[in-house]
Amino acid sequence: MSNSLPKSLKQVSFFLERLPGIGEKSANRLAFYLLRMPDEDLKDFSEQVAKLKAQTKRCKICMNLTEEELCGVCDDSARDGTRITVVEDVLDLLSLETGDIYDGMYHVLHGRIDPLNHIGPDDIFLEELFTRLKPKTNGHVTPSIVKEVILATNPDMEGEATAMYLRNRLQELKKEHSLEFTITRLGYGMPMGGNLEYADYMTLRKALENRRGF
């Protein structure tokens, strides 16, 4: 079908097909949807896409995405500054923000350690996290207020490797600077309504490790 499309529509469809989770048919449907949009809406949409990278930057504290110097979380004085949850990307942060289940701070790595894809510790925002935890020395030493670092990388092979690397580095940091924060890991295991028969090895292992009194 794409071979019979007008060239401009075909190019839009090809671009949309490069997006995650979008196949050829979905890309064609989206391209036709854009074509049918009112001119003003389509113009506004294209302008917003054009400004996306120019106006979006990383928060200077937590690396979350923002249009200001600080993101909405870091700029909120009501947040609990004694806890930092480390996530792989901004979508993970948004998931934790859903439902008001967490009121602490974040640190966004924008990736995870993945040697097979040539991504090492220096390719993600680890040093910025360590800097946040070290005592500040602007004429006098100001100790960090952080009491807990929560490792919330995903429960897959790369996420686990990143969490283990972080744990080791954080333990070294604690010893070097006499810091007192605890290091915790999100509990993972069987979801509500899950069936043991269909659970994979990692899910079952985590469910056993994270069992509690009942």
Question: What is the average pLDDT across 40-61?
Answer: 92
Walk me through the domains of the chain, giving residue ranges and CATH numbers: 2-55 (1.10.8.420), 78-208 (3.40.1360.10)
pLDDT band at 200; cut points 50, 70, 90: confident
pLDDT band at 199; cut points 50, 70, 90: confident
pTM (predicted TM-score): 0.82
Residue with tokens 């985590």: 206
Do 31 and 13 form a contact (C-beta atoms < 8 A)?
Answer: yes
Do 102 and 96 form a contact (C-beta atoms < 8 A)?
Answer: yes
Condensed to tens digits (0 to 9), the pLDDT of residues 135-185 reads 987 767 788 899 999 999 998 899 999 999 999 999 999 999 999 999 999
Distance CA 159, CA 17 (A): 27
| Nearest alpha-carbon partner for 173 in 140, 126, 133, 124 | 133
Distance CA 99, CA 9 (A): 40
